[in-house]
Every structure is written in C-alpha cells, then in structure tokens.
Structure 1
Amino acid sequence: MNLDWINAMCYDYHGSWDVSSTGTLAALYDPNSNVSRSDGLESWIKARIHREKLVMGLPLYGRRWKLKNPSVHGIGAPAVGLRPGNEGAMLYSEVQEFNAQSNAKVVLDTQTVSYYSFAGTSWIGYDGVRSVERKIEYAGSLKIGGYFFWTVIGDQELEIS
C-alpha cells in the first residue's frame, strides 16, 4: 500500500443533516445501526488495510440540539433542530461551561460509550474523558496505528492520562 496512514474520521455520525432527533456524535457502538466507530474501523480491517496504517479520529467538540419535549431526553429523543452556531457545534470547553452554568444533567451512555447532557430544551452529544479513554483502549485492542483528535482548538481542558 502506498499510504503512510489513513485517518478514519470516526465522528459526525449525527448532525445538521438530520435534526429530527438527537444522536451521538461518535458512538463506539450503536445497537440501532451499523454507523459507529467499531463498525467503521472493523470494516477497514476486513478490507485488509494494514492495521498499523489505520488511525482513529476522536472529536474535541459536541453538537447541540433543541429538544421537542424536555421530558424526553435520551439518545434519539425527538428534536426540532440544532441550536444556533456552527451547525450546533460547541468546543469541549463550551460544553463543560454550559453544563456548569445550566446545572445540566450529564449522562455517560454505556451502550454507545458517549456522553450527552441536557438542560431545558438543550441537548448536547459529545465525548468526555471516560468515553475517550474507553475508545483509546478499543483502538489499542485492535492494534491500529493510533488516534488523532479533531480539532486542535477544541483540546482546551481535556486531559487524557
């Protein structure tokens, strides 16, 4: 193969192209579809890409939806659009600030290995420290070439040890 590496963009699984319901930004697993990090990376491996040339992408931002009904707030909850801004995108530091200022309920969804938070009609899907750690462990178990973060301006206050 004549490539140094392949950056697999394992994020943006949900966003402005479907605003009818909330969704995980970068699910490790998705029990309801084959659109997930595990399905994507394993399809590259099945296609016989050299594992050491495969690099997994991780987002350092979240996406913010407007809930149709604030009492229905899980992954896949009905939504009426994204919040204003760059297609609902928020830097990780902005997600943390929103969570603190609005006293948002923060949930680590163990099925998808991703976070979401909600307060009122605002719902944000993102990765936090524990979900990133788990995804990095997963990359290690696949023995792939490594991982990268998108985008570098979003790395404020995210510490991975």
Structure 2
Amino acid sequence: MKAIKHRYTGLKTLLSVGGWNLGTKQIRVILQNRMRMRKFAKTSITFLRNNGFDGLDLHFQYPGSRGSPRKDKYKYATLVMILKEAFAVEARLTRKPRLLLTAAVPPGKHDIDAGYEIRRICRLLDFVNLLTYDFHGTWEDLTGINAPLLPRRGESKEDRERNVAWAANYWIKEGCPRRKLVIGMSTYGRSFRLANQANHGVGAPKRGRPGRGTYTRVSGFLAYYEICEDLIKGNEQNVKWHKELKAPYAYKGDMWVSYDNEYSLQLKVKWLMKMKLGGWMVMDLAGDDFSGTFCNAGKYPLISRLNKALKGEIITMS
C-alpha cells in the first residue's frame, strides 16, 4: 500500500470493517457500552496509523436489524460520535491529519428507519456511502433490475421505493447533506432462471436457482466480465434496455441477468452531478473487466466510464 500511495500522492485509503457475512453479532459486542466503544476507537486508531490507512469505514449491516435490537440504532450513533471525537483528539495530539470516518448504509426504508439517526450521524461522518444495488435478486420470485436509477410505471409503492433516486432523496429528506452522499455503483449483475424462456422481460417468473458463474461461482451473481463472456458476446439481439429503470438486462436460454453497463453508469453519474451529491463508489474493482479481454472495451471499462463521465466525456447508447 505504501508503494501505491507513493505513486499516487493524493490517494486516501480507508479500512472497511463489517460486511454482510459478518452479521450483527460482533457489532453488538462493541455497542454494549461506551467503554467498549472507546476501546474500539482506541484500537482502531492504533491499527490505522500503524498500517498507513487514512480512515475508517463502518460497514455494519445493519444496526437495528438482523438480530440487532432497536436500541442499537441510538448506540450506533453514539459509536460514530465517540469515533469522531477520538479521531479529532488524536489528530490534535499528534499534529497529523485527522483520520476520516465514513459509513456504508442501506438504501431500503425499513433498514434505514430501524438503524440510523440520519441527521445525527451525517453531521459527524465525512461521507455516507449508499449501497444502492441489490434492490432485486434471486431471493425474489420475479426478475428485477439490480440497481435501477428510477422507478417504472405500474410498480407497487414498495417497489417504487427500490431505486437509486428514491434512496438518495430519502436520506436527504431525513437530514443528510447532499455533498456527503456517495452513490454506490455495481460491477456485477443479479441473475435468475426463467420459468418460461418466452417470457423474458422485467417481472417475469423465475424457477429454482440460477447457475453459477464460471469464475465467481456464486448462484444468482455474475461479474460484469462474466456477463460479457456468457450473455453479451454473440447474443446482442437479446440484450435489452429498460427505458424507465435506466438499466440493461440480457437473457440466453433460461438464464436472465440485470446489470449496469457503461451507458447506465454514465447516466447515474450525470444524475448525481445534477443532484450535487458527493460522488460515487464502486462495488467492486474485481467485477469489472480487469484484463480487458472479456468485453473488448479495454481494461476496467466500467470504472473508466465512471471517471470519464465526471469529466463530461459522454458516450451515446449503441
């Protein structure tokens, strides 16, 4: 990491703690009382400084849900406060730049309401990273877009709240400053197995579990480079664009996948710039075409397009 930071002098690296697979058990241990929160802050500072990190990202999924009691919503906000204060004190004593503090947070209303004092934590955090993907997936009975930008006509009230724009606007409405909101972009798709190959639109019935990707080996999940190789190349006639949801999907036989491509990500960047939000993040680097051999668009075509869109370099949909 030191070599990378030496090469890119403006680079900031943060350590992310948590994640979906961790669950909430370990978080609840930290949140039990202020003494444990302060110990977590102290040990975090030591680890971050010793290993050359510039900050900490709280990726706890999610306080107030998944076995975490409702009171953890308020304890989580207290943890954020204690971390921010500890980082500020350490910076004053050492005369080093203050460690950054960010959090990865959900896009769904239920998880947001259950776990976050939005106005309080947004005042303390440097950035708030919205996990604006996984709105739909194989855990549902009908095909759906992984990360739609906007809603579509005819959706239920619940489904109209499952898109990037709704999630960002809800955090803003509840008191989070626009400039701190960072929009999550995905370099993977969510796949389904169609119940009827002739019915292959958004909202089509599924059956069973879809196959695993050649490389990722996770049912219902395909990296972008796998989508290029297995569903796009030689199958362009079955790659479709949903005008309302602003996202592509593709099907081949009984395999169906929704994902983001260069054009849909560009639209999201244009939208977040118009909204005057803080920026974008990506989940994750490994899902893009890192070799440049799968999608025939150079190395890291999705991440490259995200950067170019910020600079105003625009492509049209092919």
TM-score (norm 1): 0.93
Shift of 1:101: 4.8
Match of 1:96 among 218, 225, 228: 228
Equivalent residue number for residue 296 of structure 2: none
Contact 1:15-1:87 at 8 Å conserved across structures: no
Shift of 1:153: 0.5
Contact 1:102-1:119 at 8 Å conserved across structures: no
**SS of equivalent residue, structure 2 residue 136:** coil
1:108 partner amino acid: W
Equivalent residue number for residue 115 of structure 1: 248
Q: Map residues 19-98 of structure 1 onto 2, 5 A cutoff.
A: 20-31=141-152, 32=155, 33-85=160-212, 86-98=218-230
Residues matched between the structures, number: 160
If each structure's helix is expressed as a fraction of its own residues, which one has the higher value? 2
Distance, in Å, in 1 between the alignment partners of 2:272 and 2:163 is 13
User: Mean alpha-carbon deviation: is it higher for 78-87 or for 105-114?
Assistant: 78-87
Distance, in Å, in 1 between the alignment partners of 2:208 and 2:133 is 19
Shift of 1:16: 3.3
Shift of 1:102: 5.7
If each structure's strand is expressed as a fraction of its own residues, which one has the higher value? 1
Change (3 A) 1:121 1:21: same
Larger CA Rg, structure 1 vs 2: 2
**SS of equivalent residue, structure 1 residue 82:** coil
Change (3 A) 1:65 1:52: same
1:13 partner amino acid: F
Distance, in Å, in 1 between the alignment partners of 2:208 and 2:286 is 25
Distance, in Å, in 2 between the alignment partners of 1:8 and 1:81 is 30
Q: In the alignment, is residue 141 of structure 1 matched against residue 268 of structure 2?
A: no
Question: For each residue in 1:52-111, what CA deviation from the matched residue of structure 2 results, as whole angstroms up to 9, or x when unmatched?
Answer: 111000110011110011111111111113313323111100001112456251111111
Higher relative contact order (CA 8 A, sep 6+): 1
**SS of equivalent residue, structure 2 residue 134:** coil
Contact 1:14-1:24 at 8 Å conserved across structures: yes
Contact 1:28-1:135 at 8 Å conserved across structures: yes
TM-score (norm 2): 0.49
**SS of equivalent residue, structure 1 residue 56:** strand
Match of 2:134 among 9, 12, 30: 12
Distance, in Å, in 1 between the alignment partners of 2:248 and 2:233 is 18
Over the aligned positions, Cα root-mean-square deviation in angstroms equals: 1.4
User: Mean alpha-carbon deviation: is it higher for 6-15 or for 81-90?
Assistant: 81-90
- In structure 1, stretches of 5+ residues that fail to align are none
